[in-house]
Amino acid sequence: MSDALLQHPFMSQVALSECNAEAMVAGMLAFELALAEVQEARDLLPEGTAAQMRKALEGHAFDTSAIGAGVASGGNAAIPFVKQARAALPAELRRHFHLGATSQDVVDSALMLMLKPRLAALDALLRRCRSAALALMQAHETTVMVGRTLMQQALPLTFGVKVAHWGIGLEQARRRLATLELPVQFGGAVAVHSGLDGPGLDGQGSDGADPGGLGLELMDALAQRLELSVPVLPWHTDRQPIHALATALDAVAGAAEKLALDVALLTQTEVGEVSEPGGEGMGESSSMPHKRNPVRCALIRGAARQVHGHVSVILNAQAQPLERGLGEWHAEWTPLLDSALLVEGALEQAAVLLEGLEVHPEAMRRNLAATGGGIMAEPVSRLLAPTLGQEAAKRISAEAAETARLQGVAYADALQAHPELQGQVEAQALRQATDPALYLGSSQAQVRRAAAWLQRE
């Protein structure tokens, strides 16, 4: 399969090993066994039924290939799975299996069970990123570099501020992800637990006082047993949980992509202000031995772009018809799981990137001087305006910046040599106005404020 060469390298290998056909079957089985247990606890099944099911099915070798083939005729994996499970049970237990459930209950709940450890892994990786960002931004709280707007040199700031923004973006995404609920799904055919009506199943709550309340009671108990959240109602065509999950994953992908894009731009040969962590074979070219490509950034951005595409599929499947989606539900499965695996892969790279990022302050100083100090024209103009007027100050500061660039002299020297400034402004004042380290605004305060926020749970 081409996936192993073209798709899987962007994903977490740990997650790939844990999110396979066998894991999906295990999730579906966990749902069915838990359903039997909560039903037996409310006297809906004969005593010992759930234990007998568990004994017969937990060690059973399900044929995942046959389940996959069965999707073509049934439309989802639950239908062939239930057939296999019933066939593996003693005859007297078969009618008790999958009681009151529908295929969407099984698939949605299994997906939530598969995603639960993935969210835990994402949280752990984002915490690693947060710790690494904190260390990096505090180490470079006063490291001066060029700030760039529209890809051009603008004004100075500190590298610590840049890292602070990376850290805040990732942490905002982590906190959003942490608020997500993974709800159990249990509603039966049309999401009103009608499958619980019938002989011996009176549709009443356990105290007999709430006609029709038994299904909701079972749903709540099932959520507790599976350690999933309790929805208000079954959510067969209410896809808000999936929408929230997909967009939260996309927010993480976007924050990681921002980090990777900035780092990749700063690693350019002509800029050289940072380098990716080294390693055997990392960033090598197939034809150019001298190259050190920002391959971690490429992997992060490649994963993020795929997530953005997957999320668009899920967003377009949000409105689903009547009581069961016709293709919309089915379209969610792959992009949802793949998004989680891609984000986890991106964060594995992001954590290593932040933990081992090589910072080159000397290159930052060199680039600050690339215009001869002309990036300080704005503070110079502010210095000159009270004496020369706003228009003249702006013109003279720009003329001196161009002179500094063309002649390769310091901006302060070009200013002092300007004929209209002779005797107008003290040389020391000009030198201070052209010193990037003295024009950092709230950079240092921002780093400290960001650090305090990042360390607040």
Terminal C-alpha separation, the chain: 43
Q: Report the chain's C-alpha Rg in angstroms.
A: 31
CB 436 within 8 A of CB 415: no
Active-site annotation holds for 443: no
Burial category of 321 from C-beta neighbours within 10 Å (exposed 0-12, middle 13-18, buried 19 and up): exposed
With left for phi above 0 and alpha for psi between -120 and 50, is residue 327 left, alpha or beta? Answer: left
Handedness of CA 55, 61, 63, 67 (dihedral sign): positive
Catalytic residue among 95, 175, 206, 285: 285
Catalytic residue among 292, 324, 395, 431: 324
- CA dist 1 and 362 (Å) reads 47
Burial category of 5 from C-beta neighbours within 10 Å (exposed 0-12, middle 13-18, buried 19 and up): exposed
- CA dist 143 and 160 (Å) reads 7
The owner of tokens 């081409």 is 2
Active-site annotation holds for 405: no
Handedness of CA 311, 312, 313, 317 (dihedral sign): positive
- CA dist 340 and 349 (Å) reads 14
SS3 (DSSP) at 351:
helix
- CA dist 19 and 2 (Å) reads 18
SS3 (DSSP) at 66:
helix
* Nearest to 28, CA basis, from 76, 70, 66, 87: 76
- Beta-strand pair 274-275/144-149: unpaired
Cα distances (Å, whole numbers) of residue 286 to 233, 283, 292: 56, 10, 11
Cα distances (Å, whole numbers) of residue 193 to 13, 235, 260, 432: 39, 12, 48, 76
Which residues form the catalytic set?
Answer: 285, 324
